[in-house]
Amino acid sequence: MANTNNDQKKGAVLVVGAGVAGMQASLDLASSGYLVHLLDKSPTIGGIMSQLDKTFPTNDCAMCIISPKLVEVGRHLNIDIHPNTEVASIEGEAGNFAVTVQTQPRYIDLAACTACGQCRQVCPATAVNEFNQALDLREATYMRYPQAIPRGFTIDREVCIGCGLCEKVCLAEAIHYDDQARQKVLEVGSVILAPGNEVFDPSRFDTYNYLNFPNVVTSLEFERILSASGPYRGHLMRPYDREEPHKIAWLQCVGSRNINACDNSYCSAVCCMYAIKEAVIAKEHAHADLDTAIFYMDMRTYGKEFEQYYNRAKEHGVRFIRSRVHSIEPAGECDLRLSYTNEKGEQKEEVFDMVVLSVGFEVGQGTIELAERLGVELNEHHFAVTDGFMPVATSRPGIYVCGTLQAPKDIPQSVMEASGAAAGTSAMLSEMRWTETRTRELPPERDVSEEPPRIGVFVCNCGINIGGIVDVPAVREYARTLPNVVHVEDNLFTCSQDTQVRMAEVIKEKGINRMVVAACTPLTHEALFRETLLEAGINKYLFDMANIRNQDSWVHMNDKQKATDKAKDLVRMSVARAGLLKELHEKKVEIKQSGLVIGGGVAGMNAALNLARQGFQAVLVEKDKELGGLARRVSHTIENLDVQTYLDRLITQVKSDDNVTVLTEAEVVGFKGYKGNFTTTVQHGPDKTEQTVEHGVAIVATGAHEYQPKEFMYGESDRVMTQLELDKLLHERTNGSDPATWSNVVMIQCVGSRNEENPNCSRICCQSAVKHALQLKELNPEMNIYILYRDMRMYGLLEDYYTEARKKGIIFSRFELDNPPVVNRNGEGVEVTFHDHVLQRPVKVPVDAVVLSAATLANETDRLATHLKVPRNAYGFFIEAHAKLRPVDFSSEGIYLCGTAHSPKLISESITQALAAASRAGTFLAGKTLSVGGAVAHVDKTHCAACLVCVMSCPYGVPRINEENVSEINEALCQGCGVCVSECPAKTIQLSHYEDDQVLENVHALLEGVM
């Protein structure tokens, strides 16, 4: 290895693992000024998310939402993807690592391969298709999935017979049978580990007969069965006879929660939600009535709006059966018999056509070895050891972790953690920003303003998403007949990278100056196609999308003819509009290199501190006199970490950081400007001193509070308290109210949660109860503690504490919403009556204390939300831009959220999210300039009557009557809503890209078809 200057930090980062977490970390870092090496041992990026059919709780198609990210990663100038590659060894230290990586031979040169697929067509050898979970076969020469990035084939030499056919047909001469493994050294400042998990292999034990009965499948296999690109093309079928099942059972906790000897003890955190999702989607896919039953122990729908999803599933008729099923027996030729004991203790038997095993996560052997090579400590379950107060840092400085290697978790949590890990890295390497990055040279834009429209129409099959319903060739041929259309084609996946490259070539070749893509939604794909236009030297506004998927094939799947007719209508509308589109030119404005963080709790402080460490200014606004928020009332975490010591240290760090300004007793009273250039008015201090803050980004971290119960005699007896009140007593241990003296304690879960008024699960109260119960047991092992619950939601690694609590004799007793425990006065004291579901009768317990696990509710943010114009749900929690892939962004750019303002969460989760928000904010700030203009309003001053109607109607106060006595609209300030345009009595303002003639031509083209 070459001698390097060890004092010099590197501006490059290595990300190991290219699933959704690795991709997000890479995108954040690459966009904020670091060169990223993204490694994956597989030939393609995308990870396990690419194998999922839909994602909860939005039921978005996983491939549809991940594929723009795949393409973005694939196209990013500052991300080098290293497929088929693993880390061999590492030297150096934080800031300057030398990582030796080993790339396995692919036998096909990616630089030469055009992904034409000829090689696969001629390949005579077949292998089990692991992407489809072995439910079908693939060729030895293969691509993992159609949208795969990098675009290129691979030869599986384990099954390749070396016949040489592919080499003969490959015109690109990309096949190299003699390809060798290669090593190289990457010099990076930091490493982010995102290798993901494997799913549990249920063949390890025989009770489920997974290997013997084809109709017993794992949940991941079922995802592939449901998937439009899966082995059965999205048709619901069971493997044995390819018949549509009428009755499917899901068995939860397979491989998790120690049901069987070789299971893992932790909860895998995602299986309850995916099982519900799979049941709901399967019902949608089924042609006849489909009976679905989920056998579970606790339904752990603890995430944001998950509980409502669960409730809706019940309404859809999904059956939920609280029972462990220990074995699957055959019934007839291929059906399956489940025997189980129901809650009443009755022995039941039911026959199903198909059984899905909800398999959990586990860390793969390869990852365990990787951690060893990297010197990263793993815990007893092989998850990375992290500090609860820095949940993205591993035991080795400079190496961060995100995703399921940290602990089992779902996609949004992984995405947050990925951004959090990026924030850690970015703070560490901030002085090296933009030192190793590259810049893109786009071809000059061709001026087409004088040319007649030459429209190219690209119709997407979206696999079978569109093509399975809409007659795509017919739509394509119809498009050919429309005015100004000079080119038509259809593609399997218009968004795939090879199609994109080819489209740019076709555009140049045919002199296309307007592009119409008939595919999915502009919400996810417009940016991608616009970039394709830019690559072809055409202004990106000369583009229109016909949404023939979300607004057509997906919603009219019962009538193919009408769906096809509608697709033609939509294409005709787009082509008509495209003909009138104009080139628009954006200009650059500076981004203020600072952020405003609203809320000085753990989340807000971490966000502010990380921004500061990334080299940006941060102003932290706290409504109370003191920083700290809700965490001030928590003495220890369940892992027994001292929250108050941490908080003191954090407050000191925040206050002493030169880049952070803290304003207490502060309130935002005014907010104006636009992304990159906000001006906020804050009143702070005892005198309400008014101060104006100019900032480029804003982070909302307004927190939450504990619900003050109205039920269970709360407020009527000092023996009834909330968990936070108990925390205080446990911490203070004062005479007279020392919990150590208690002999009987009852905790009641879900107080103010999961009911009609507040259907949300508050996520953290199960662990609060277990934490405090364990602390009480520690004080007095003789104490009788009852936890009355509805579902114990000890997700992920928390499960171990639940196990410990049961071992220590804490009694868990379940109740139903309609039969809650009753708290009564009993002389001086109180007593609790509850129904014991084992004894099947009411039990009365006199108690020293009743502890209510009260809900976590959003803080009051009415005025703030109005100022910032950011949305909240019905329960006051802020709504992120996308529940899955943009968990800390608001849909208005430049504003982010974190902590319990988003939804209830643990301190460690708040910290992760705060880092994530700071990463997203930093990514935006690091760009330094911003393009403005484009689709904004402009005034034709010749007809302006200076009537002031625009001035009076603009919600942002942008238009003004200028020195020439006509209206003037600043394009950097205009938000492009078009209100003034539709109010102008002289019809002299137009909204670019949505000009009246463009809109009306759209309408005209639609109605032309029906007249």
Partner 1 sequence: MIIAKPKPIEEIIELVKDLKSVLVAGCDGCVTVCEAGGMKEAQVLASALRMYFRQQGKDARVDETSLTRQCDRPYIAQLDDQIEKYDAVVSLACGAGVQFLAERFSKKPIFPGVNTCFIGVTEQKGEWTERCQACGDCILATTGGICPIARCSKRMANGPCGGSSSGKCEISKETACGWHLIYERLKELGQLDRFERPNDPKNWATSRDGGPRKIIKEVSQV
Partner 2 sequence: MRLNYPTNIKIVKLPCSGRVDILHLMKAMEEGADGVFVAGCLEGDCHYQAGNLRAKKRVAYVKEILDKIGVGGERVAMYNLSAGQGPRFAEIAREMTEKIKALGPSPIRIAKRKAAGRPTTEEAA
Please say whether the beta carbons of 887 and 914 come within 8 A.
Answer: no
The pattern of x and - marking residues 882 through 911 that bind partner 2 according to CB under 8 A reads: ---------xx-------------------
Alpha-carbon torsion 64, 69, 73, 77, what sign? Answer: positive
Binds partner 2 (CB under 8 A): choice among 36, 573, 596, 932: 573
Binds partner 2 (CB under 8 A): choice among 99, 135, 570, 630: 570
CA distance 372 to 361: 20
Of residues 442 and 1000, the one with the C-beta less far from partner 1: 1000
> Which of 634, 639, 914 is closest to 796 using CA atoms?
639
CA distance 282 to 236: 7
The CB-of-1003 to partner 1 minimum distance in angstroms stands at 12
The CB-of-866 to partner 2 minimum distance in angstroms stands at 8
The distance of Cα 530 from the centroid of its chain, to the nearest Å, equals: 24
Of residues 484 and 953, the one with the C-beta less far from partner 1: 953
Please say whether the beta carbons of 681 and 621 come within 8 A.
Answer: no
Q: Taking CB under 8 A as the rule, does residue 90 contact partner 2? A: no
The CB-of-787 to partner 1 minimum distance in angstroms stands at 60
Of residues 586 and 738, the one with the C-beta less far from partner 2: 586
Q: What are φ and ψ of residue 203, in 5° steps?
A: -75, -5
Q: Which helix (H) or strand (E) holds 221?
A: helix 219-226
Q: Taking CB under 8 A as the rule, does residue 943 contact partner 1? A: yes
The CB-of-310 to partner 2 minimum distance in angstroms stands at 16
Q: Vertex 165, ends 163 and 166: CA angle to 5°?
A: 115
Tokens of 237: 């079928």
The CB-of-599 to partner 2 minimum distance in angstroms stands at 21
Of residues 316 and 987, the one with the C-beta less far from partner 1: 987
Q: Taking CB under 8 A as the rule, does residue 655 contact partner 1? A: no
Segment interacting with partner 1, rule: CB under 8 A, options 306-314, 490-498, 642-650, 944-952: 944-952
Of residues 781 and 985, the one with the C-beta less far from partner 1: 985
CA distance 112 to 152: 9
Please count the CA atoms within 13 angstroms of the CA of 496 that sit on its side-chain side: 22
Going by C-beta distance under 8 Å and a sequence separation of 6 or more, which residues neighbour residue 955? 975, 977, 979
The pattern of x and - marking residues 543 through 562 that bind partner 2 according to CB under 8 A reads: ----x---xx-xxxxxx--x
Find the DSSP H helices in 441-537. 472-480, 497-510, 522-535
Binds partner 1 (CB under 8 A): choice among 134, 952, 1003, 1007: 952
Q: Taking CB under 8 A as the rule, does residue 284 contact partner 2? A: yes
Q: Vertex 108, ends 106 and 109: CA angle to 5°?
A: 105
88's contact among partner 1, partner 2, none, with CB below 5 to 8 A by partner kind, is none
The pattern of x and - marking residues 18 through 57 that bind partner 1 according to CB under 8 A reads: ----------------------------------------
> Which of 215, 213, 235 is closest to 224 using CA atoms?
235
CA distance 695 to 697: 6
> Which of 849, 856, 749 is closest to 792 using CA atoms?
749
Binds partner 1 (CB under 8 A): choice among 111, 985, 1010, 1011: 985
Q: Taking CB under 8 A as the rule, does residue 629 contact partner 2? A: no
979's contact among partner 1, partner 2, none, with CB below 5 to 8 A by partner kind, is partner 2
1000's contact among partner 2, partner 1, none, with CB below 5 to 8 A by partner kind, is partner 2
Q: 384 forms bridges with which residues in the sheet?
A: 378
Q: Taking CB under 8 A as the rule, does residue 813 contact partner 1? A: no
Q: Taking CB under 8 A as the rule, does residue 935 contact partner 2? A: yes
Where b means 16+ CB within 10 Å and e means fewer, 326-358 reads eebeebeebbbebebeeeeeeeeebebbbbbbb
Tokens of 685: 């201090």
Please say whether the beta carbons of 20 and 66 come within 8 A.
Answer: yes
The DSSP bridge pattern shows strands 141-142 and 154-155 to be: antiparallel
Q: Taking CB under 8 A as the rule, does residue 947 contact partner 1? A: yes
Residues 46-75 that bind partner 2 (CB under 8 A): 58-59
Find the DSSP H helices in 596-670. 602-613, 643-656
Q: Taking CB under 8 A as the rule, does residue 586 contact partner 2? A: no
Tokens of 579: 């003909």
570's contact among partner 2, partner 1, none, with CB below 5 to 8 A by partner kind, is partner 2
Of residues 733 and 987, the one with the C-beta less far from partner 1: 987
- Give the full edge-to-edge strand order of the sheet including 784-789: 720-722, 849-854, 744-751, 784-789, 811-814
Query: Contacts with partner 2: how many residues (CB under 8 A)?
Result: 50
Identity of the amino acid at 831 = E
Q: Taking CB under 8 A as the rule, does residue 984 contact partner 1? A: yes
Of residues 820 and 959, the one with the C-beta less far from partner 2: 959
Binds partner 1 (CB under 8 A): choice among 813, 953, 970, 975: 953
Find the DSSP H helices in 780-906. 799-807, 862-868
Of residues 404 and 988, the one with the C-beta less far from partner 1: 988
Of residues 648 and 996, the one with the C-beta less far from partner 2: 996
Please count the CA atoms within 13 angstroms of the CA of 615 that sit on its side-chain side: 15
Of residues 331 and 557, the one with the C-beta less far from partner 2: 557
Q: 90 forms bridges with which residues in the sheet?
A: 99
Of residues 496 and 988, the one with the C-beta less far from partner 1: 988
Tokens of 421: 């890990």
Q: Taking CB under 8 A as the rule, does residue 875 contact partner 2? A: no
Of residues 678 and 802, the one with the C-beta less far from partner 2: 678
Q: Taking CB under 8 A as the rule, does residue 451 contact partner 2? A: no
Identity of the amino acid at 232 = Y
Of residues 116 and 977, the one with the C-beta less far from partner 2: 977
Q: Tell me the residue length of the chain.
A: 1011
Q: How many CB atoms lie within 10 A of CB 316?
A: 13
Binds partner 1 (CB under 8 A): choice among 523, 817, 945, 1003: 945
Of residues 17 and 230, the one with the C-beta less far from partner 2: 230
Q: Taking CB under 8 A as the rule, does residue 501 contact partner 2? A: no
Please say whether the beta carbons of 976 and 991 come within 8 A.
Answer: yes
Segment interacting with partner 2, rule: CB under 8 A, options 107-115, 236-244, 365-373, 980-988: 980-988
Q: Which helix (H) or strand (E) holds 550?
A: none
Residue ranges in contact with partner 2 by CB under 8 A: 58-59, 284, 522, 547, 551-552, 554-559, 562-563, 565-566, 569-570, 573, 869, 871, 879, 891-892, 935, 953, 955-956, 975-979, 981-983, 991, 994, 996, 999-1000, 1002-1004, 1006-1008, 1010-1011
Residue ranges in contact with partner 1 by CB under 8 A: 943, 945, 947-949, 952-953, 984-988
